[in-house]
């Protein structure tokens, strides 16, 4: 079973998809004149610099969540067990060199996430209650279908939706949390899974608004808690940190020989694991978090797009890097362990038994915010699917979905415990369900690149003093319907 899944993942995450992701990242980087690098201070000032400022109410801006609630939910959805179990698996399979490719993918992923979030906000729909929803399927319908007159836009939209809902049935969050809690406290994976299921019900029952409010309270604390713990281990082992960077850069281009419980990895495997784990962790190109960003109260699509770049920066450049360095510095990366167990062992080696409790708490927090954040993605896809159905039908179906939502995660834990499914097999399922929508989404945003570049040009003129403002630009697609025929629309 494991060998079969490995071959499937190798095919899906082969040269075509890796090339497509890196090509899109390089293309948008060059087309925007290296925006995520040149204007990184502006990105950080406009995002992190505003977190602690009192948010001003904008009655003109439509939205369900504030920009901070949206980014908290998105970071909560992306800074999940992929940062703990995923990074560990990348190193366990691809060696330390996989970390380099995670970094590279994240740097170009910052602009990819900016593009997809911007397009999601630009093409979003407003429902009968005045609430906006958007995402890849929306810009496929409007950008490809209506603007480019591509009659078959439904095909990529269905493939994308199928891939996203694959993660609904093969979810990693409940499994990884139950694995960490069970091994740390000795209470068994199934009881831990039931506890997570109850917490999930509490958070999602209040809907998107309640999820956003909870995320804005949990996410800042959980990120800071994990980062400070990891930095403590790194700074108390600075000598080993130099060696860790050496292993990362040498392994990135030369592969890693077998050592200890590590079976060795060729360069192709190193690249594959690094890119796959990066996408699964920060979701750049996956098309997921743009759905929650689309609900933000914002008066310019690129304003929220910049929060997308910040999301990738926090997720991979900060959190994933700390996880990776801790694992390599501890020396347990070659022990043969993988997933959350490897990270648990690394923190335990760094700061004793306390480290195991730190990671367990982090896994729980990361997993809860990811599980509840992803509920929003599924709901938005379902709202788009049933957009022509009556309000009463949608309300009943979404209520049913809310009650059913945590069941697959619980079922996977029960099945894994019953048949003894190894953790690596679960991660293979994750790779399969993430590859399909990522490929579709990245191709689509490349086709819609002209729209994004026009919006970015306008943003730079309005808020950065670069260039001239085009008074006729339409910032939100819905406004196009009310624009006079002789008005210029870009």
Q: Could you tell me the residue ranges of all domains in the chain?
A: 2-52+62-454
> Of residues 14 and 59, which shows the higher confidence score?
14
Predicted local confidence at residue 128, as pLDDT: 76
Predicted local confidence at residue 145, as pLDDT: 92
Q: Give me 253's structure tokens.
A: 């281009």
What pLDDT band is residue 422 in, cutting at 50, 70 and 90? low
Torsion of Cα atoms, 377 then 380 then 382 then 387, to 10°? -170
Write the CB contacts of 416 (distance below 8 Å, at least 6 apart in sequence): 175, 189, 426
Write the CB contacts of 387 (distance below 8 Å, at least 6 apart in sequence): 125
Predicted local confidence at residue 144, as pLDDT: 93
Angle, alpha carbons 431-437-440 (nearest 5°):
130
Rounded to whole angstroms, how far apart are CA atoms 220 and 165?
A: 28
What pLDDT band is residue 487 in, cutting at 50, 70 and 90? very low
Q: Which CATH number fits domain 2-52+62-454: 1.10.4160, 1.20.1740, 1.10.10, 1.20.120?
A: 1.10.4160
pLDDT mean over 214-239: 84
Predicted local confidence at residue 110, as pLDDT: 94
Chain centroid, CA 119 distance in Å: 16
pLDDT mean over 463-467: 90
Q: Is residue 452 predicted with pLDDT exceeding 90?
A: yes
Rounded to whole angstroms, how far apart are CA atoms 315 and 309?
A: 10
End-to-end CA distance of the chain: 51
Q: Is residue 438 predicted with pLDDT exceeding 80?
A: yes
pLDDT mean over 231-238: 86
Ranges assigned E (strand) in 129-180: 132-133
Beta bridge partners of 125: 133
CB of 489 closer than 8 Å to CB of 472: yes
| Mean of all residue pLDDT scores within the chain | 82
pLDDT mean over 6-17: 73
Predicted local confidence at residue 424, as pLDDT: 60
Write the CB contacts of 294 (distance below 8 Å, at least 6 apart in sequence): 117, 120, 121, 124, 132, 133, 134, 135, 138, 380
Residue showing tokens 């940062």: 83
Residue 317 Cα distances to 160, 224, 282, 314, 421, angstroms: 27, 14, 10, 6, 31
Predicted local confidence at residue 81, as pLDDT: 60
> Of residues 166 and 397, which shows the higher confidence score?
397
Predicted local confidence at residue 229, as pLDDT: 85
> Of residues 484 and 163, which shows the higher confidence score?
163
CB of 409 closer than 8 Å to CB of 193: yes
Residue 118 Cα distances to 75, 112, 161, angstroms: 16, 10, 20
The percent of residues above 90 in pLDDT, for the chain, comes to: 20
Question: How does pLDDT run across 124-152, given as a tens digit for each residue?
Answer: 988 777 888 899 999 999 999 999 999 89
pLDDT mean over 106-123: 94
Q: Is residue 60 predicted with pLDDT exceeding 70?
A: no
Rounded to whole angstroms, how far apart are CA atoms 260 and 264?
A: 10
Q: Is residue 96 predicted with pLDDT exceeding 80?
A: yes
Q: Is residue 106 predicted with pLDDT exceeding 80?
A: yes
CB of 212 closer than 8 Å to CB of 304: no
> Of residues 428 and 121, which shows the higher confidence score?
121
- Read off the pTM: 0.84
Rounded to whole angstroms, how far apart are CA atoms 134 and 403?
A: 23
Predicted local confidence at residue 488, as pLDDT: 45
Rounded to whole angstroms, how far apart are CA atoms 402 and 142?
A: 28
What pLDDT band is residue 2 in, cutting at 50, 70 and 90? low
């Amino acid at each position: 079973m494991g060998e079969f899944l490995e071959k499937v993942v190798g095919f899906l995450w082969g040269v075509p998809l890796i090339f497509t992701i890196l090509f899109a990242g390089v293309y948008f980087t060059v087309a925007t004149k290296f925006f995520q690098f040149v204007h990184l201070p502006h990105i950080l000032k406009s995002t992190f610099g505003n977190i602690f400022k009192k948010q001003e109410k904008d009655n003109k801006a439509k939205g369900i969540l504030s920009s901070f609630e949206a980014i908290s939910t998105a970071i909560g959805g992306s800074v999940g067990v992929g940062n703990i179990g995923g990074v560990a698996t990348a190193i366990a399979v691809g060696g330390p060199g996989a970390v380099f490719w995670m970094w590279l993918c994240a740097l170009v992923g910052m602009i990819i996430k900016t593009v997809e979030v911007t397009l999601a906000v630009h093409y979003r729909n407003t429902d009968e209650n005045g609430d906006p929803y958007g995402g890849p399927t929306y810009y496929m319908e409007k950008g490809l279908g209506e603007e480019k007159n591509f009659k078959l836009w439904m095909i990529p939209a269905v493939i994308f939706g199928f891939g996203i809902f694959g993660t609904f049935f093969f979810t990693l969050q409940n499994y990884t949390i139950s694995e960490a809690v069970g091994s740390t406290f000795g209470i068994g994976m199934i009881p831990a899974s039931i506890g997570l299921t109850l917490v999930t019900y509490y958070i999602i029952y209040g809907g998107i608004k309640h999820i956003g409010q909870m995320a804005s309270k949990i996410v800042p604390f959980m990120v800071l808690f994990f980062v400070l713990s990891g930095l403590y281990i790194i700074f108390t082992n600075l000598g080993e940190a130099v060696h860790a960077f050496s292993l990362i850069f040498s392994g990135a281009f030369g592969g890693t020989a077998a050592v200890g419980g590590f079976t060795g990895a060729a360069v192709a495997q190193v690249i594959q694991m690094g890119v796959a784990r990066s996408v699964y962790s920060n979701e750049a190109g996956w098309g997921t978090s743009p759905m929650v960003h689309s609900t933000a109260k914002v008066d310019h699509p690129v304003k929220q797009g910049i929060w997308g770049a910040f999301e990738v920066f926090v997720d991979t450049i900060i959190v994933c890097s700390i996880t990776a360095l801790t694992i390599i510095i501890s020396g347990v990366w070659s022990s043969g362990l993988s997933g959350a167990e490897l990270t648990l062992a690394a923190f335990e080696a760094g700061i004793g038994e306390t480290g195991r409790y730190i990671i367990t708490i982090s896994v729980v927090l990361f997993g809860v915010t990811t599980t509840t954040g992803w509920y929003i993605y599924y709901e938005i896809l379902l709202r788009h699917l049933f957009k022509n159905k009556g309000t009463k039908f949608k309300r009943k179906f979404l209520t049913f979905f809310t009650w059913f939502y945590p069941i697959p995660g619980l079922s996977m834990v029960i099945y894994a415990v019953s048949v003894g499914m190894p953790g690596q097999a679960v991660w293979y399922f994750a790779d399969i369900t993430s590859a399909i929508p990522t490929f579709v989404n990245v191709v689509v945003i490349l086709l819609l690149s002209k729209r994004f570049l026009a919006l970015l040009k306008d943003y730079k003129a309005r808020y950065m003093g670069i260039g001239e403002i085009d008074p006729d630009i339409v910032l939100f697609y819905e406004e196009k319907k009310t624009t006079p025929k002789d008005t210029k629309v870009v």
